[in-house]
Amino acid sequence: MVIIIQRLIQKIYNGKWEELETIDKKFTEIENKLGYPPKKRYRCLTGSYDTNTIIIEHQWESLAKMEKIAIKAFLDPEYQKLSASLDNIIESQKQELLVPHPPFPE
């Protein structure tokens, strides 16, 4: 089994951080019910992203587990509604999937 790090990188519109915090609390409640692993959140200070960037990470036991829970989330009406409310908060986003190196230690 290979651990997967899922990293969601979101650029937030200026002045939308308080709204994001309110919505994120609701996301956390739903994600906990659905079985998401705990998340870590980082805000950029310096580097290749500007200061209006948040990075959210989840560590999954496997791709299969991530897929199973993601499907549950995508089919959940409460999760769908909450996701739609992010349109005026998130300017852009991308996702990365990472594995430890080497992925299969000897």
Cβ atoms within 10 Å of 53's Cβ, excluding its own = 19
Q: Say if residue 105's pLDDT is above 70.
A: no
Tens of pLDDT, residue by residue over 31-81, are: 999 999 999 999 999 999 999 999 999 999 999 999 999 999 999 999 999
Strand partners for 60: 4
What domains appear along the chain, each with residue ranges and CATH number? 7-98 (3.30.70.100)
- pLDDT band at residue 10 under the 50/70/90 scheme: very high
Burial of 48 per CB tally in 10 Å (0-12, 13-18, 19+): exposed
Q: Is 93 left (phi over 0), alpha (psi -120 to 50) or beta?
A: beta
Q: Is 73 left (phi over 0), alpha (psi -120 to 50) or beta?
A: alpha
